[in-house]
Amino acid sequence: MSATIIDGKIIAADLRAAVKAETQRLHAAHGIVPGLAVVLIGDDPASQSYVASKSRAVAEVGMRPFDHHLPADVSEAELIALVQKLNADPAVHGVLVQMPLPPQISTKCIVARIDPDKDVDGFHPLNAGRLFTGLPALAPCTPIACIKLIKTVHASLAGREALMVGRSHIVGNPLAQLLLKENATVTIAHTRSRDLPALCRRAEILCVAIGRAEYVRGDWIRPGSTVIDIGINRVTAGGKSRIVGDVNFAEALPVAGAVTPVPGGVGPMTIACLLLNTLRAACTQAGLPAPEV
């Protein structure tokens, strides 16, 4: 038996189409065009290409991209001034500052300056707190993406054993909260956890976000389980470089019931969920209910 490969590209294309349809409806009914401002600092090629693909995706669904490129030596005060300008701009419904930031700028400080209603990355402490207390919140895009991918396999997660490996504020913690919200029985593992292979073997839903190339082995995986590999790791072998996940995909394939590939799994869904968050933010700011997408 070979696991079903959860094709993030196809699922993301469906989500983008649904967001596009809702965006058109919002414009037709209320004259609102959701706008996403992306702020890029410096000349890191990976960040540049990521920002370019976000802006392309924004335009493709009929939203308005606002791109801002600041030099690597920009001061924290200058960046705060730009964020405040974007917060006050009614044409901008989402504000995203591309991470990582240069060393002279405090990430915490910048995240806290973004209007929580425009915080489409879902990193603002208010949104994190709302998510943890069960209130409506803009949640981070990658965890939303993971839940949507899992739901293509399981209509309900109620009562299922879920393991979240990794506890970052960007992925692990919020994804564990979203799994809990879906009534899964959630365990969170991290570097101090004992016997990670045994914890993994219990999981019907195994989500891994640790940033360690192919760390989770095939014999750690519960047969028939759903494996969501969030890791993005560049490895070089024989002079060739490629991207792999945190799970050994070749070993997972004959054991798991369903597995996300890397690349082509969580990555494309994350951008689609950014569009979804921008649409939701635009609706909320207009006092309209968020569309069921």
**Counting beta carbons within 10 angstroms of the beta carbon of residue 287, is it exposed (0 to 12), middle (13 to 18) or buried (19 or more)?**
exposed
Q: Quote the least distance from Cβ 263 to ligand NAP, whole Å.
A: 9
Of these, 212, 251, 264, 284, which contacts ligand NAP (CB under 6 A)?
A: 212
The string of DSSP letters for the chain reads: --PEE--HHHHHHHHHHHHHHHHHHHHHHH----EEEEEEES--HHHHHHHHHHHHHHHHTT-EEEEEEE-TT--HHHHHHHHHHHHH-TT--EEEEPSSPPTTS-HHHHHHHS-GGG-TT--SHHHHHHHHTT------HHHHHHHHHHTTT-S--TT-EEEEE---TTTHHHHHHHHHHTT-EEEEE-TT-S-HHHHHHH-SEEEE-S--TT-B-GGGSPTT-EEEE---EEEEETTEEEEE-SB-HHHHTTT-SEE--SSSSHHHHHHHHHHHHHHHHHHHHTTPPPP--
By the rule CB under 6 A, 191 interacts with ligand NAP: yes
> 121 an active-site residue?
yes
Q: Which of 117, 121, 229, 246 is catalytic?
A: 121
Options 52-60, 113-121, 155-163, 191-199: segment touching ligand NAP (CB under 6 A): 191-199
Shortest separation between residue 103's beta carbon and ligand NAP, angstroms: 17
Q: How far is the CB of 227 from ligand NAP (least distance, A)?
A: 14
Stretch that binds ligand NAP, among 69-77, 174-182, 250-258, 263-271 (CB under 6 A): 263-271
Rounded Cα–Cα distance for residues 95 and 44 (Å): 20
Nearer to ligand NAP, 36 or 165 (CB): 165
Q: Is residue 9 among the annotated active site residues?
A: no
Site mask for ligand NAP (CB under 6 A), range 116-155, x = bound: --------------------------x-------------
Q: Which residue, 116 or 122, has its beta carbon nearer to ligand NAP?
A: 122
CA-based nearest residue to 157, from 129, 134, 131, 185: 185
Whether 118 is a known active-site residue: answer no
Applying the rule CB under 6 A, the residues between 217 and 236 that interact with ligand NAP are: 230-233
82 binds ligand NAP (CB under 6 A): no
User: Among 215, 254, 246, which Cα is nearest to 5's?
Assistant: 254
Q: Which of 170, 186, 259, 283 binds ligand NAP (CB under 6 A)?
A: 170
The count of residues interacting with ligand NAP (CB under 6 A) is 26
Closest distance between ligand NAP and the C-beta of residue 91, in Å? 27
Cα–Cα–Cα angle for 46, 269, 266, nearest 5°?
A: 75
For the CB of residue 246, give the shortest distance to ligand NAP in the complex, in Å: 6
Task: Candidates 41, 110, 128, 171: give the one binding ligand NAP (CB under 6 A).
Answer: 171
Asked if residue 166 binds ligand NAP (CB under 6 A), the reply is yes
Question: Which of 48, 55, 168, 185 is in the footprint of ligand NAP by CB under 6 A?
Answer: 168
Residues designated catalytic: 54, 98, 121
Per CB under 6 A, residues contacting ligand NAP are: 142, 165-168, 170-172, 189-193, 196, 209-212, 215, 230-233, 266-267, 270
